[in-house]
Amino acid sequence: MRLPLLCASVILMSLSQCRAVSFPEDEDPINIVDYHYSRQYPVFRGRPSGNESQHRLDFQLMLKIRDTLYIAGRDQVYTVNLNEVPKSEVTPSKKLTWRSRQQDRENCAMKGKHKDECHNFIKVFVPRNDEMVFVCGTNAFNPMCRYYQLNTLEYDGEEISGLARCPFDARQTNVALFAGKNFCL
């Protein structure tokens, strides 16, 4: 009777040690500042502050590739040159605009979605190689994907279905990458 109890204790202790080892501890933050102090840092709004057609950015993802920061949101991907030091506002050096077609927005509304949900939220932005990037968006709950030139953000190729490549909903989280020639979501 004592042997099974001893074995169970050893197994439980081993499992508790394995669990602790499998999850790394969070790193300490590089810097912590008070809200009032943070006002000195430049802000990114997506569009210049004088632009009257300002809308929420609906930030979805951010990726640094070499000296460029790519910021994806609703209907847009912005690039920021990290070699330029902004004073008060970070302005994008390039902008890719990819809106959902009118028919896709209408179909989205017919599905009972709110009009703010019926946009193309960019959820996947994965470099394919040094020259191409694979981009997918929710496209008003009808996901679509495209290839773009990495340096110019010019559309390159055909639009393909985003089913099993991109979430339908902007609130869904995802991770995407290329492993060799295979796309993994």
pLDDT at 90 exceeding the cut of 80: yes
- Mean predicted confidence (pLDDT) in 121-133: 93
DSSP β-ladder status, 132-137 and 122-127: antiparallel
Give me the pLDDT at residue 154, please: 94
> Which residue type does 10 have?
V
pLDDT at 16 exceeding the cut of 70: no
The pTM for the full model equals 0.74
pLDDT at 52 exceeding the cut of 90: no
Q: What is the residue-wise DSSP string for 60-122?
A: -EEEEETTEEEEE-BSEEEEEETTS--SSEE--SEEEE-PPPHHHHHHHHHTT--GGGSS-BE
> Can you read off the two tokens belonging to residue 176?
């995407």
Burial of 135 (0-12, 13-18, 19+ CB in 10 A): buried
pLDDT at 23 exceeding the cut of 70: no
pLDDT at 54 exceeding the cut of 60: no
Q: 């932005």: which residue's tokens?
A: 125
Q: What is the C-alpha separation between 179 and 185, in angstroms, rounded?
A: 10
